[in-house]
Each structure stands twice: as structure tokens, then as C-alpha cells.
Amino acid sequence: MAMGSSDTNPERPQRLLHVPTMCSETWDSVLAKSDRPPTYNALSYTWGRFTSKDLPLKVGGISWQVPGIHPSHFTAAEFHHLLTVIAPESGYVWVDIACIDQEYLPMKMEEIGKQADIFRGAERTFIWLTTHTRDSLAQNYRTLMEFGELLMSLQIDLSNLSYNKKTLQNILDTGLSNALDAAQKIFRDPWFTSLWALQEAYLRPDATILTKDGHSIDTSSKTPVDLELLSAYVQEIYIGLPPASSMSPTAQALLNCFHRSGLMGIDTFDVPVHIYPAAHARQCENDVDRVYAIMQVYRLRLGSARYPHRVYTPEELEDELVQSLNRLSPLAAQLFLHQSPPMANRAWMITRVCVLPPTYFMVGSIENLCTIDATQQQPTPIYKGRECTLEDMVRCWAASIDQRNNEYLHHINPNYKFHHYSADIDLDAGHLDERSRPMFFRLMEERLPTCPCAFCRRGAQPFGQLGLATRVQELLPCPISQYRLLEIANIATTTSLSSGGSYRVSCSLGILGTTEQDGDRKFFRRVGICCWEKAQAELISVYNGVWTAAECCLA
């Protein structure tokens, strides 16, 4: 795999800027002055779209010309002031225009390949929003924060939907428009539209946010607001809003604003799944940067960053990224839905226009259970893991529902807290026909009178296997007997209860598809994803019995 350096042997930046002297120094020359590696801070900002012939920042010790920046974005004096604000006691800062050769491409690509280590190696990192004053940013941040906290104050229990819909509607009526206005104002800053800034956001979500004059805004505990905290409120709002089917145009506009910001799920997974689609909502000069500007988040070094003297097309880079991502983490590579019908034999590949349903945001630890391997020499991916029929899996779901109902009705476990069993089926666009859009099915999260469980029906007979199979068949466009599941990963997460406390849920994720034949070639055609709770301990032998070993080609 074309991986970057390891945590035990991180790569160092070629240069650091000594702010007191405004001189760019090589790492070795800085190291020679001390017995220990220098501490430095790093700056994330945007300038590429704002170059001009105005007087540039004066930097000594370099062979390349520092670009001038249009003063409407920031002046050389404002830039210098900002650097003095963020410089640590050592005086050293990593900032790209003073530390990366802007003219010699091989050296530039080599340094780009070190971005992850450079940012992770910084003592502190800072984000410079050049269009915000302290007052304007604080006011808009506070609006989002208060709206998110109001939604979360309902303590919505996603397992049984036990929230007050009237209270939720009052919150939406009074706060939704203000939240949209605040989000649009915050994310209008060029930093939130810069592709290179997106990678830096994922590398250091703890980066402190600064306004144009170098000030931070504080939380109620007087600590500076960082990107991770802003992202947390974005995710709270996203999860707290009602389902998309009942969403107003204002709510939909707010979610679209969040998606374009790139802050969705910034710290949800060990291996991020949102950054690739988000990269295509941001601006860049060259299409190849859609890969170069995000690969370090995955600790990958691809294309010219790996082979500096070779030129790659955008298509070659995207294929290399997707292949590498599937080898690195099948979960991260497959946790998506196509928004438009995928190209032939490429349904297994994440694209720039894929989406992730909100159900999958609250994720904890991950255990990958398969391998998906494809290379440029062997572009057809090979899956190795376990498979089962969807019919058998539905029977396991029904057995789990019956077991849970039985525990509730007969109090088998005195400490048992009822929550609905959860299973989701999500279909890619184009599965039914070329006009179809993604389809999301939440099979178990329904309240009276349609929920089949005894908890909702107050003593009615357990749902039973036949009823659930019928319900699933009603939702699917093809006979249930045609569908198979490939096991991808186990996911463990903690969910809060509206009555207080929480419970631990272990879920599994699979690729949903059909087995097809093309001449002598047999392959598994992906049509969507599926997520379900793991079976209770009493049913684990039944659950394990439906799986068989599998090795197949993906399409």
C-alpha cells in the first residue's frame, strides 16, 4: 500500500519560519542550534485564489518568490501580525508559503506528501478566518451552539423515538431560520471553501479558530473555540433534526450548508468517510488536488507525491485513492450511497457525489471483518470474508425482535432496559432503474400503530419471522431471495436513553447486492449497504450459522 510514514517515525518539515527574524530555516539548521527537536505551531489558511502583484510578505532565507496577496483578503502587515500571535516560545511556525518551495515541483510534491506528519507534529495549530471579526464570529457561533443544545435537550432516544414532537416543532419554528443564517455567515469564509484547508481540518480538528485580527472566541469555560467544538454542534443539529422525509426547505438548506462545510463527521471515525465527497464541494486550481489535498488524512502517499517525476491524470489518482482506501479500511471505503447511478462495474467505488445517511454518524470502535483488494494491475476488486442471504439475515432480525420482546414481557433480566432492535437497508441510486434515487429504510424505528414490537403494542403477540420478511419484501424492488450480504465490519457505539443513562450497541455493516453471471464470470453487484444490531448472546449460534466463507469479485 502506498502509505505515508508511521507514527513511530514521523517525517519532519523541510523548513520552519522563525517569526522574530522572519527567516525561513531548514530543519537541520534549526536542529543544530539545540539538543532537541524544535517545537513549532502550524497555520491553516487560504491564499491561492487571492494572489496578486501587491507587496508580498518579506521572508529571508528562501530561493522562491513569496506570492503577493490581494489586500481585500489580507495585507502583508496583517499576515505578519497573525504570525506573531500564533508563534510559540521557540518562535517557529510552519506556514506553507515560507516553508514549501513554490517553484520546484518535485520538492513541492515531496513536502505535500508530509502534510500529515507536519500538522500532527505541530504543538498547536490555528485556523485563520480572514472575513470574520471577533464579534461577528462569536454571535454566529453562539446561535448555532444554542440551537444545537436546544435540540439535544430533548434527549431524543433514537431507539424508541420517545421525544415530544410538539416541543421539537417549537424549537424548529423559533430557531431554524436563525441557525441557517448563522451557518451561512460562518461558512461563507474562504477557508471553508478551500480544498487544502479541508485536509488540515481533518488532520487537526483541535485547531484554534482565529478571526482576521488574530483573536479567538471563547466558550463558557473561557477556553478558545476550536474546530472540533464547532463540528460537534454541527453534528448535534444534523442528528437532532427530524427525518429528511419531513424536512422543511429551511432545514434542508441548513443540512446542505453543513455538507458543503466539510465538518460532517470530522472526528466520527478512525478512518474518515466524509472527506472524499466533501473535497468536491471545495475550490482548487487543479483537479488532481482533489486527491493530493486529502490523501494525507488516510496516511497515503499517492501519485506524484510518491513518484515526483511522474505525472498522473485525475482519473488515475482517483482510482488509486479508492483502491488504497479499500485495502486500508473496507468500512471507510464502503460506507456510502451513490446519489446517481454508478458506471458499469464501478458500483463498489466511492465517488465525489456519494452521501452517508445520518444513521451512521454516531460511531465508536470499528473492527474490519474482510479484505477488499484491487490494484492498477488487477482493477477488479476481490472480496474475502463471509456472506449470507438477506432472507437468512431477516430471520435473524426477527428472532432478535422476539427475544427482546420476550425479555420485556416476562422480565427475564431484572436489569433489562427495553430499546427497539435496529436494522437499516439503504439502496444506491440506480438499483431499481436509471432514474431511481437513493432509498433509505429504517425497519424497526416506528411508533404506534405500525411498530410490531410488544413494547409499542402493549402485550400483542411478537412480530414473528413471516411478518418481518413480508415488510422487507414490500420495501425492496426485487424478490428478497435475490439479495445477498457481504460482511464488512463490526461497529460498537453508545446510545443515550431519554429516561437517562445509556446502552452499548454492537452493530454490523454489510454490502447488499446480487450475484450475477457474465459468461464464465461470476460476480457480486453492489446495490447498497445494510446495518443491523448484533444478535443477543442467546442467539449467537443461530446468527453465526447463516454465514459462509466467501471470495468473490465486486462490481
Q: Which residues of 221-260 are buried (b: 16+ CB within 10 A; e: fewer)?
A: eeeebbbebbbbbbbbbbbbbeeeeeeeeebebbbebbbb
Domain assignment of residue 458, yes or no:
yes
Contact 386, 369 (CB under 8 A): yes
Q: Residue 102 is part of which domain span?
A: 15-123
Domain assignment of residue 523, yes or no:
yes
Contact 328, 350 (CB under 8 A): no
What is the rounded CA–CA span in Å between residue 359 and residue 320? 29
Report pLDDT for 268: 56
- Give 434-458 pLDDT, tens digit per residue: 556 667 666 654 433 344 454 454 4
- 3-state SS record for 154-178: CCCCCCCCCCCHHHHHHHHHHHHHH
What is the rounded CA–CA span in Å between residue 98 and residue 85? 17
In whole angstroms, how large is the CA radius of gyration of the chain? 26
Report pLDDT for 77: 93
Helices 390-410, 465-475: crossing angle, 10 deg rounding: 130
Domain assignment of residue 539, yes or no:
yes
- Give 212-234 pLDDT, tens digit per residue: 999 999 877 788 999 999 988 88
pLDDT band at 517 (very low <50, low <70, confident <90, very high): confident
Domain end: 108, 123, 138, which one?
123
What is the rounded CA–CA span in Å between residue 22 and residue 36? 22
DSSP state of 462: P
Q: What is the mean pLDDT of residues 306-326?
A: 88
Q: Based on the number of CB atoms within 10 Å of its own CB, is 163 exposed (0-12), middle (13-18) or buried (19 or more)?
A: middle
Domain end: 74, 104, 123, which one?
123
Domain assignment of residue 104, yes or no:
yes
Report pLDDT for 481: 94
Give the distance, in angstroms, between the CA of residue 286 and the centroid of all CA atoms in the same chain. Answer: 23
Strand locations in 11-128 (E): 15-18, 23-26, 41-44, 51-52, 68-69, 92-94, 125-128
What is the rounded CA–CA span in Å between residue 43 and residue 19? 13
368, HSE (Cβ side, Cα atoms, 13 Å): 19
pLDDT band at 498 (very low <50, low <70, confident <90, very high): very low
Domain assignment of residue 388, yes or no:
yes
Strand locations in 382-534 (E): 382-389, 423-427, 439-442, 483-496, 502-518, 521-533
Enter the pTM of the model.
Answer: 0.76
Classify the phi-psi angles of 155: left when phi > 0, otherwise alpha if psi is within -120 to 50, otherwise beta. left
Q: Does 25 or 356 have the greater pLDDT score?
A: 25
Q: What is the percentage of the chain residues whose pLDDT exceeds 90?
A: 34
Residue with cell 484491487: 374
Residue closest to 423 by CA, chosen among 383, 463, 481, 386: 463
Ranking 239-243, 402-406, 410-414, 533-537 by mean pLDDT, the lowest is 410-414
Domain assignment of residue 490, yes or no:
yes
Domain assignment of residue 505, yes or no:
yes
Domain assignment of residue 78, yes or no:
yes
Enumerate residues 6+ apart whose C-beta is below 8 A from 15: 24, 25, 26, 27, 62, 98, 99, 100
516 backbone dihedrals φ, ψ, rounded to 5°: -130, 160
How many domains, in total, are found in the chain?
Answer: 2
What is the rounded CA–CA span in Å between residue 326 and residue 350? 10
What is the rounded CA–CA span in Å between residue 526 and residue 223? 47
Amino acid at 368: N
pLDDT band at 484 (very low <50, low <70, confident <90, very high): very high
Enumerate residues 6+ apart whose C-beta is below 8 A from 134: 211, 213, 215, 217
DSSP state of 248: -
Q: Which of 375-389, 403-417, 477-491 has the highest mean pLDDT?
A: 477-491
Residue closest to 486 by CA, chosen among 313, 349, 370: 370
Contact 215, 130 (CB under 8 A): no
- Give 82-119 pLDDT, tens digit per residue: 999 999 999 999 999 999 887 777 777 777 778 888 99
Helices 165-187, 249-261: crossing angle, 10 deg rounding: 40
Domain end: 123, 154, 175, which one?
123
